[in-house]
Amino acid sequence: MSDSNVARQSSGAGPGIDPAHAALPPPNLRANRVKRLAALAIGYVLLLLLALFMMGPFLWLLSVSLMPGTNVFAFPPAIFPTFIRFDNYTQVWGFIDFPKYIGNTLIITGLGLLLNIVLSLTTAYPLAKMRFKGRSLIFGILVATMIIPSSTALVVHYLTINWLNLRNSFLGVVLPSAVSVFNIFLMRQTFMGVPDDIRDSGKVDGASEFRIWWQLMVPMVRPGIAVIALLEFMSYWNSFLWPMVVLDDPAQYPLASALTFLNGQFSYNFGWIAAGTILSVLPIIAVFLFTQRYYMEGISGAVKG
């Protein structure tokens, strides 16, 4: 036997087959792999274009805020800035007392988050884990109220806040949205995903219902709490119309409402408005970046429940 045949047999290739060609996959397998890679590349390109389309207004707003003195209505719009200057930011920061309005916004947001989380947890837990007559009816009525537009309740909310003598107070701003039916629904689905054995083990140990809820059940639904916190943080931080209705003193406005001072009666500086808007959304972006993992876990847990 020749040396070449011995080499072929030792490499695992049959007689007359080049080992380099024997290592290659079949043509059909290579063609399928190329098709999959091409489809994956096309998908990523389409997703990138969709992301740029969705981010277009924000990028345009950011570009306008960084280019003072430019025509904001020029076509095509400048999505990416051609030069960067921070004059709009420094001027709008000096024109509006940002620390004061950020403090007002933090008070409203913190109070709203606390009430929403506590009331949602205490309402959703019995609807998910306790057995009592009329439970399904109560839950159905709560879900049915979600079809009512929130704007239709504006007058009712104002009359209620006025009757409670809570006008011109932060509590009056927070109270109408202190609990959300969507949050109750979300937490009910999350509680339903927790095994009943955990609650039963607490009963066997003689724990009270409150202790079972606080020490056993609440730690199991932390991702759902993170979802509520993120959604309500965005809602209260961006609250605009209702604070202007309830608060008579403009010094108590949250940041979103205070940005209306940049819009004059006969003229406005759109560069200042863009810079103020960018400054107001930066905390929301930061909070979302730090909590997006818990947000995805909470949504997936609610869907499974």
Q: What is the pLDDT of residues 254-273, one digit of tens each?
A: 998 888 887 764 456 788 88
Average pLDDT over residues 277-298: 81
Contact between residue 82 and residue 214 where contact means Cβ atoms under 8 Å apart: no
The DSSP letter of residue 120 is: H
> 6 pLDDT band (50/70/90 cuts)?
very low
Predicted local confidence at residue 267, as pLDDT: 55
d(CA 89, CA 83): 15
Predicted local confidence at residue 13, as pLDDT: 47
**Given this structure, which CATH class describes domain 93-304?**
mainly alpha
Predicted local confidence at residue 172, as pLDDT: 92
* Percent above pLDDT 90 for the chain: 28
Q: In the chain, where are the structural domains located? A: 3-54, 93-304
Predicted local confidence at residue 22, as pLDDT: 52
Q: Is the pLDDT of residue 71 over 80?
A: no
Residue 64 neighbours by CB under 8 Å, 6+ apart: 70, 72, 78, 270, 271, 274
d(CA 207, CA 216): 10
From residue 239, alpha-carbon distances to 205, 243, 299 in Å are: 45, 7, 24
Q: What is the residue whose two structure tokens read 């007058």?
A: 155
Predicted local confidence at residue 122, as pLDDT: 93
Higher pLDDT, 142 or 294: 142
User: pTM score, two decimals?
Assistant: 0.78
Closest alpha carbon to 165 in 175, 178, 150, 179: 175
81-94: b (≥16 Cβ within 10 Å) or e: eeeeeeebbeebbe
Task: Indicate the SS3 state at residue 232.
Answer: helix
243-273: b (≥16 Cβ within 10 Å) or e: bbbbbeeeebbbbbbbbebbeeeeeebbbbb
Whole-number average pLDDT of the chain: 83
d(CA 278, CA 89): 9
